Amino acid sequence: MKKNNAGQTKTGKKTSQVIAENFWRLLIGIVLFSVSIAFIFMFENNSVKQSDARQEGVSQVVSISAFEPDQSNDGKLVHLSGEIKTQHPISDSIFGVSAASLWLKRTVEMYQWKEDVTGKKRRVYGYKGVWSEKPINSQSFWKSKQHVNPPMPYQTARYRSLTASIGSFSLSESLMKRLESYSAYPLQNLNEVPPAIKANAKLYQGRLYLAANPVQPAIGDIRIYFEIVPLMPVTIVSQQKGTSFTPYPAKSGAPFEMARPGTVSVKAMFNDEEEAGVAVLWGFRGFGFLLNLIGLFLLFKVLRQLDKNIPVLGDLVRADSFLVTATASLALCALTVGLAGILVTPFMGIVTLTLSAALFFMAAKKSKAEKL
């Protein structure tokens, strides 16, 4: 970082300004770089364990009948299909709405003031009414006295069936959560709503409104709608525990179980789960690489301005090239993936470490070529 007259750098900026900019670049770069490495390592290690658990599971799973519990299968990984049934409908404890379903969800929204701020040099504050499930704190508004949001009298809630079963087996809460995909449950009438609430309630488009006019809402009006997970045929893969289930404790240390709507074969269950796992993993890898790339770019930018010959990384730092930085970042991510994988799957870990070394070599070669 070379200076000119009057304490200025070659870019014309004051030295103090450049020092401040580089400080924040260095700080943000270190944080992003560190977080990316930890993020990739954690999810990579977990993904490898999950994959190994699925490979173990597919070799151990036993298909059984949902209507004939066999004590000899206790502790085993089992696969079964059947129709979900319940002994009693689920009921909302406040509004009385009930449904014969696996889950019942109540979503509560209130019509509230929302503040919009525009402009950079001169800020302009605007206010409009919006439906929001979360309370909006109007006390932080610029014009808080003229735009007051009342407290929300009700909150969103979920209810699950306590008597759900498939054949002769009761469904565990963990399996029920894996089937938690909601469908709309529009209200047909207000017959189940308690009289105290019903007196101020209106039904509009299948939703319950605590408002004078649902079409023209006022601040503080409440809108409530319901959703359910219907009773349906499902297929599950889990460890049998008496007449219920618990996650299967795989040797890799990653307990797992699966649940899907419909009648699904063992092969399809495991294949679909593997494909979904790979898709999620690559999404996390991409996000981790992006964090790492930004962090490394900021760090290299600071180090480059120091004009120092840094051992090992000297050529990489001095090469003012996005391609070199991206290749170096990719190499570091591959190194992290390899170290995480080698703890569980040595062969794939070694392959990834080799790839990392090749990427480092490419980055170094590219940086030397640009230097010439």
Write down the residue that tokens 């359910």 correspond to: 228
Nearest to 345, CA basis, from 56, 38, 34, 33: 56
- Residue 222 gets which letter from DSSP? E
CB atoms within 10 A of CB 170: 15
Write down the residue that tokens 């079964």 correspond to: 80
User: Residue-wise pLDDT tens for the chain (372 aa)?
Assistant: 445 554 555 555 566 776 777 788 889 989 998 999 898 888 888 888 888 888 899 999 999 999 988 999 999 999 999 999 999 999 999 999 999 999 999 999 999 999 999 887 788 999 999 999 999 999 999 999 999 999 999 999 999 999 999 999 999 999 999 999 999 999 999 999 999 999 999 999 999 999 999 999 999 999 999 999 999 999 999 999 999 999 999 988 888 899 999 999 999 999 998 898 889 888 998 999 899 889 888 887 777 666 555 554 545 555 555 677 777 777 778 877 777 766 656 655 576 667 666 666 665 565 555 554
| Kind plus residue range of the DSSP H or E element containing 334 | helix 322-342
The sign of the CA dihedral 55, 57, 59, 65 is negative
Nearest to 351, CA basis, from 366, 338, 364: 338
**pTM exceeds 0.85 for this model:** no
Buried b (16+ CB within 10 A) or exposed e, 281-318: beebbeebbebbbbbbbbbbbbbebeeeeeeeeebbbb
